[in-house]
Chains A and B, each alone.
Chain A
């Protein structure tokens, strides 16, 4: 039996048991409270922890591990924390949308990159970008979803199939109406660009459309520059509102600035008023390793500075009753990294090394895989923290049961769980399960 079915069954039992037990008086005050489905990744981690096989491998978690399989703190972050510990003399609340300093750092880094993006610079000058610190990428997605639900003409939000599991939950909870557009074709392990375009063209005008800026999660397959041009033309013609999710900036090329060509195309179109407004959800979780510190931002590009003022005031109104103000530890680290001489370069270097290891492991795995009757070329086209293997759920479950290799059933492997010590074992296990 598949694990998902198992989960459904246990869920049912729980619902029945709570119903039965809640016949006592106080608990009757509540509607039936079903057991919410557990997070898939956490379930995998738990099973992994309980496995006694010394060769076990966890390919579930989306956080970086070094070649010893250990979590790391980026050396630049470590340095920034030491500086912070020494000089921090207050832990006051930041304003609702974060400190001005943080907002400006993010704006300049992403939309201008020290004067390299004339269009972004113009938008900043014209006061057309409203930036707020948020609770990392997820909080950013949630805030913009709530905002669009309040103020945008259309509730329909188009998301790629497949996409990060939480996207749909976040958007639905905020009252939007998510619908898939074609993105990936499993039978060929590749982008399905023709159907991608078709499904966008057939979607209602003025929909919101979610775009992964780079390192698409879970497939690792991004559009080429020319493909983006075509998609942006559709967006322009259909008057879509682009919502860009950038959780892996730097993980495609190893260099953050090279990974934002979609943003640069959008800032150009915004300046030319072809696509006058869009939004960007940005996270420092992965590219600075600030995962749990919940550090990220939302930027909303508006048509003019008057709209910006209104949008900013409404953003504050929206956030204040949810959490008042964002957490400072991560944002202060970001501020120090960008301000302290030399630290930013060190960070870029740290990030480059992280991405370098992922790429090395990716090719090592590829090398060791049996290609005699299975095509693994897609592995080399994919970018980011994951390989989207194309293995079937049955094969993934065999890997788990017979080899203690733990991954989600969609066949997505988190590369950072792979290292010099286990790549051979993993490749052999995969070769075994793909045998006819």
Chain B
């Protein structure tokens, strides 16, 4: 007994955690953190959205507010409105959606996996983009899925490998599971164009694959909720897809709810059929899973988001906040690109402005990234993924010059 856990081996820390630790220890005053996965304002500070502050004041002053348990499904006004954010409030598909509040996007993906594993008859192989958010693989492997990749990023052209993507869809066994980033692909920042989405959805429908949309950045990418929901609304509202669709929705980035853990899973068994008894059974099974994992979801964040979505003034403020965040990021992309072009840094840099969302896949090699950290105090993950949110008017010049220096230093680079 003295050794009941002596068989437990210690794991190395998460690479992002290590990056943060090194950044914190760095004494250089002008160090820059491009590893963070959260929005920063132009002063490099975290930002609570004005819409959120207003909603919090409203909630805390509401005499009926309390901390009671939510129902297992979550906060109903949150769930209904969250589905509307995805599909549009005029969508005629809303009645087909089965929703369950989750622990943000991660919790929604986990639930999707558990549910599919228990009830889906199709192929329990999940296809993830190459590359993808690091946690995707762990989430589905943990549940016992076989994980495969589909080609996505072409490193030569720094653009979408559409043919590779479509071929994977075609060659996967029918009724497999495909995970799609709805917008602001993490880590590349590269999204398919509308035409490319149309082709992708058409092939997915032909093969009757089950689609999981990971929607972690709606509105954060372009500032426009509708634009960022293009593939979701195309697939569902226009009934391009008849096979089952699951949407994993996070309000971490677009409402800045990060640590509050606000999200939902929405299941649309089919855009072509609506079977109430079936939907009800699905809902009770989602409830059962939640009950044995967490009993019921956390209340506060979902009430804040619901308050914003239900109050037209706050909703307008939120749309403005989305524009504030996305336009600052877009501006930083433009500035960085034009500075690199001015400096005549070897290679092309249009991909920086072609990409959207929090991240840019710079194309910098691991050795360049290492040199950025060592010689310049600029921290990003070794894949070359930079958080554009970490850039601001005060440091973008320094970052451009540093990138220029490391790229020129490794002149053998393919950039």
Contact in complex: B139, A321 (CB < 8 Å) = yes
Which residues on the B side are within 8 Å of A63 (C-beta)? 68-69
Give per-residue flags for A263-281: 1 if the beta carbon is below 8 A from chain B beta carbons, else 0: 0000000000101110000
Q: Does A364 contact B (CB under 8 A)?
A: no
The answer, among A91, A306, A324, for a CB contact under 8 Å with B260, is: A91
Which residues on the B side are within 8 Å of A276 (C-beta)? 1-2, 4
Q: Does B25 contact A (CB under 8 A)?
A: no
Which residues on the A side are within 8 Å of B56 (C-beta)? 85
Segment of B161-169, B224-232, B272-280 in the binding face: B272-280
Q: Does B356 contact A (CB under 8 A)?
A: no
| Total number of B residues with any Cβ neighbor in A under 8 Å | 86
Segment of B290-298, B345-353, B376-384 in the binding face: B290-298
Which residues on the A side are within 8 Å of B1 (C-beta)? 206, 239, 241, 275-277
Q: Does A402 contact B (CB under 8 A)?
A: no
Contact in complex: B285, A324 (CB < 8 Å) = no
Which residues on the B side are within 8 Å of A153 (C-beta)? 4
Contact in complex: A27, B275 (CB < 8 Å) = yes
Contact in complex: B257, A91 (CB < 8 Å) = yes
Query: Which residues of A, 302-345, contact B by the 8 Å Cβ criterion?
Result: 302-303, 306-307, 309-311, 313-314, 316-317, 320-330
Query: Which residues of B, 39-62, contact A by the 8 Å Cβ criterion?
Result: 45-48, 52, 56-57, 60
Rounded to whole Å, the gap between the CB of A416 and the closest CB of chain B is 12
Q: Does B107 contact A (CB under 8 A)?
A: yes
Rounded to whole Å, the gap between the CB of B82 and the closest CB of chain A is 17
Contact in complex: A30, B119 (CB < 8 Å) = yes
Which residues on the B side are within 8 Å of A93 (C-beta)? 37-38, 252, 258-259
Give per-residue flags for A187-206: 1 if the beta carbon is below 8 A from chain B beta carbons, else 0: 00000000000000000001
Query: Which residues of B, 7-30, contact A by the 8 Å Cβ criterion?
Result: 7-14, 17
Which residues on the A side are within 8 Å of B298 (C-beta)? 135, 292-294, 327, 329-330
Contact in complex: B273, A139 (CB < 8 Å) = no
Query: Which residues of A, 15-31, contact B by the 8 Å Cβ criterion?
Result: 17-18, 21-22, 24, 26-31
Contact in complex: A136, B294 (CB < 8 Å) = yes
Q: Does A138 contact B (CB under 8 A)?
A: yes
Which residues on the B side are within 8 Å of A94 (C-beta)? 259
- Complex: how many Å from CA A71 to CA B10? 45
Contact in complex: B107, A92 (CB < 8 Å) = no
Q: Does A35 contact B (CB under 8 A)?
A: yes
Q: Does B222 contact A (CB under 8 A)?
A: no
Q: Does A75 contact B (CB under 8 A)?
A: no
Contacts A89-B46, A93-B258, A316-B14 given; does A321 touch B142 at CB 8 Å: yes
Query: Which residues of B, 153-201, contact A by the 8 Å Cβ criterion?
Result: 175
Rounded to whole Å, the gap between the CB of A42 and the closest CB of chain B is 7
Which residues on the A side are within 8 Å of B261 (C-beta)? 323-328
Which residues on the A side are within 8 Å of B257 (C-beta)? 91
Q: Does B67 contact A (CB under 8 A)?
A: yes
Contact in complex: A323, B273 (CB < 8 Å) = no
Residue of A nearest to B56 (CB): A85
Contact in complex: B5, A311 (CB < 8 Å) = yes
Contact in complex: B8, A311 (CB < 8 Å) = yes
Of listed A33, A137, A300, residue having the most chain B CB within 10 A: A33
Contact in complex: B10, A21 (CB < 8 Å) = no
Contact in complex: A91, B10 (CB < 8 Å) = no
Segment of A166-174, A355-363, A388-396 in the binding face: A166-174
Contact in complex: A92, B287 (CB < 8 Å) = no
Q: Does A69 contact B (CB under 8 A)?
A: no
Contacts A36-B284, A39-B72, A307-B5 given; does A77 touch B291 at CB 8 Å: no
Contacts A142-B293, A320-B135 given; does A292 touch B299 at CB 8 Å: yes
* Besides A14-B280, A91-B260, A328-B259, 10 new A-B residue pairs in contact (Cβ under 8 A), listed by A number: A18-B281, A26-B273, A30-B120, A85-B60, A93-B252, A138-B295, A276-B1, A302-B5, A307-B6, A326-B261
